[in-house]
C-alpha cells in the first residue's frame, strides 16, 4: 500500500483559504511566528479558555477542546473570528471525521470568543464526501515540486506568509 501523507486540521484550514499556504505548511516552511495575528491566535488558545482546557492530541490532529454536554461528546474549535467560516467548518468536520473513524461519535462547535458567538457543526455523509476530495487535493498539492503561484485574496493582508509571497512587490 502506498504511503499517504498524514493530513492535519491546519492543512484543511489552509486548503480552504489559500492553496499556496497549504503547500508551504506541507513542506514545513514556517510562517512568521512573530506576526501579530499568529500571536493573537496563540494567546486566545492558551489563555482565553485555560480554566476549562481539555485539549486532545491524536498525532497529526490536535483538537482544541473536548467536553460533554448533556451526555454528548462535543468537539470545540476556537477561532479568533468567524471571518473564514467555511475553512473553520471543514477543519472541525475533519476532526469529527477522524474521531468517527476511531469509533467516537461527536458533535462539533465553532467558538469565536472575541465575537461571543458559536456555531454547531455536524458530520454528514455529504460533507464527508467533500472532505475526502479536499484531503486528496491537499495531498496532490503537497506533492507539487513548487508551491502554486500566489493569488491576491483578502486573507493576504493579515497572512503570516505575506512577505514570502509578496516580497518582490
- What's the CA angle centered on 41, arms 158 and 88, to 5 degrees? 80
Res 169 pLDDT > 50: no
Tell me which CATH code domain 9-166 carries.
Answer: 3.90.320.10
Res 159 pLDDT > 50: yes
User: Which of 89, 155, 162 has its CA nearest to residue 127?
Assistant: 89
Percent of the chain with pLDDT over 90: 46
Instruction: Convert the pLDDT of each residue in 42-64 to its tens digit.
Output: 555 555 545 445 567 787 788 88
User: Which of 87, 81, 111, 70 has its CA nearest to residue 11?
Assistant: 87
**Which pLDDT score, from 0 to 100, does residue 135 have?**
96
**Which pLDDT score, from 0 to 100, does residue 42 have?**
52
Instruction: Convert the pLDDT of each residue in 79-100 to its tens digit.
Output: 888 888 999 999 999 999 999 9
| 33-39 long-range Cβ contacts below 8 angstroms, 24+ apart | 33/160, 35/160, 37/80, 37/158, 37/159, 37/160, 38/160
Instruction: Convert the pLDDT of each residue in 106-148 to its tens digit.
Output: 999 999 888 889 999 999 999 999 999 999 999 999 999 999 9
Q: Give the start-to-end residue ranges of the domains of the chain.
A: 9-166
**Which pLDDT score, from 0 to 100, does residue 39 have?**
52
Amino acid at each position: 500500500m502506498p504511503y499517504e501523507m498524514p493530513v492535519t486540521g491546519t492543512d484543511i484550514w489552509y486548503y480552504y483559504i489559500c492553496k499556496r499556504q497549504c503547500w508551504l505548511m506541507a513542506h514545513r516552511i514556517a510562517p512568521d511566528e512573530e506576526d501579530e495575528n499568529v500571536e493573537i491566535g496563540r494567546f486566545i488558545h492558551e489563555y482565553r479558555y485555560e480554566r476549562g482546557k481539555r485539549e486532545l492530541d491524536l498525532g497529526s490532529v490536535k483538537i482544541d477542546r473536548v467536553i460533554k454536554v448533556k451526555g454528548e461528546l462535543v468537539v470545540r474549535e476556537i477561532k479568533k473570528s468567524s471571518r473564514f467560516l467555511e475553512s473553520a467548518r471543514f477543519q472541525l468536520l475533519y476532526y469529527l471525521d477522524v474521531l468517527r473513524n476511531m469509533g467516537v461519535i461527536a458533535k462539533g462547535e465553532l467558538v469565536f470568543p472575541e465575537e461571543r458567538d458559536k456555531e454547531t457543526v455536524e458530520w454528514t455523509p455529504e460533507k464527508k464526501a467533500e472532505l475526502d476530495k479536499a484531503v486528496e487535493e491537499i495531498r496532490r498539492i503537497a506533492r507539487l515540486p513548487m508551491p502554486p503561484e500566489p493569488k491576491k485574496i483578502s486573507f493576504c493582508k493579515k497572512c503570516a506568509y505575506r512577505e514570502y509571497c509578496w516580497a518582490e512587490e
